[in-house]
């Protein structure tokens, strides 16, 4: 009986260690995601349709993410200036990243925004940009979240 208990405990520990090993995501992705955020900020500031298309993930079409949609979201209600995203919180896993942040606009209070990126090779491409309102203001990630960084 004692041998069975030892074998079961050993197997459980092995499974736990093996499972934890697979979930480790290096934090060196954070700077690359930050570069993608900066690229999106520059595209929005310039309102550059051509550059916007160059940072889009192939999956963005399924999310109805277009330059017109994103520009209208940021420059809504007569807003004429955008200086970037502030209060960024990056949460990512193997190939998906979510950035909860605020769009810093000159004419009003910051707008709560969620940006989703999809990893393609070594770069993070834009998948979706959406406004956060009410209960959505701080969405909860599923248990698959593996790394994060608050800025």
Residue-wise pLDDT tens digits, 5-49: 465 555 555 555 554 444 455 678 999 999 999 999 999 999 999
The domain ranges of the chain are 27-150
State residue 67's pLDDT score.
95
Higher-confidence residue of 150 and 58: namely 58
CATH topology of domain 27-150: Nuclear Transport Factor 2; Chain: A, (3.10.450)
State residue 37's pLDDT score.
98
Residue-wise pLDDT tens digits, 87-135: 999 999 989 999 999 999 988 899 999 999 999 999 999 999 999 986 5
- The full 3-state SS of the chain, as one line of letters, equals CHHHHHHHHHHHHHHHHHHHHHHCCCCCHHHHHHHHHHHHHHHHHHCCHHHHHHCECHHHHHHCCCHHHHHHHHCCCCCCCEEEEEEEEEEECCCEEEEEEEEEECCCCCEEEEEEEEEECCEEEEEEEEECCHHHHCCCCCCCCCEEEEC
State residue 106's pLDDT score.
83
Confidence of residue 142 (pLDDT cuts 50, 70, 90): very low
């Amino acid at each position: 009986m004692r041998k069975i208990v030892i074998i079961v405990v050993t197997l459980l520990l092995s499974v736990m260690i093996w499972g934890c090993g697979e979930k480790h995501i290096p934090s060196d992705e954070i700077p690359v995601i930050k570069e993608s955020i900066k690229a999106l900020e520059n595209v929005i500031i310039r309102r550059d349709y051509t550059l916007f298309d160059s940072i889009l993930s192939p999956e963005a079409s399924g999310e109805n993410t277009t330059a017109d949609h994103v520009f209208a979201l940021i420059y809504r209600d007569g807003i004429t200036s955008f200086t970037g995203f502030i209060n960024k919180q990056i949460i990512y896993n193997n190939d998906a990243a979510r950035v909860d942040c605020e769009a810093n606009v000159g004419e009003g209070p910051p707008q709560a925004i969620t940006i989703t990126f999809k990893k393609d090779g070594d770069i993070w491409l834009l998948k979706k940009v959406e406004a956060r309102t009410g209960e959505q203001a701080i969405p909860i990630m599923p248990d698959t979240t593996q790394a994060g960084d608050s800025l």
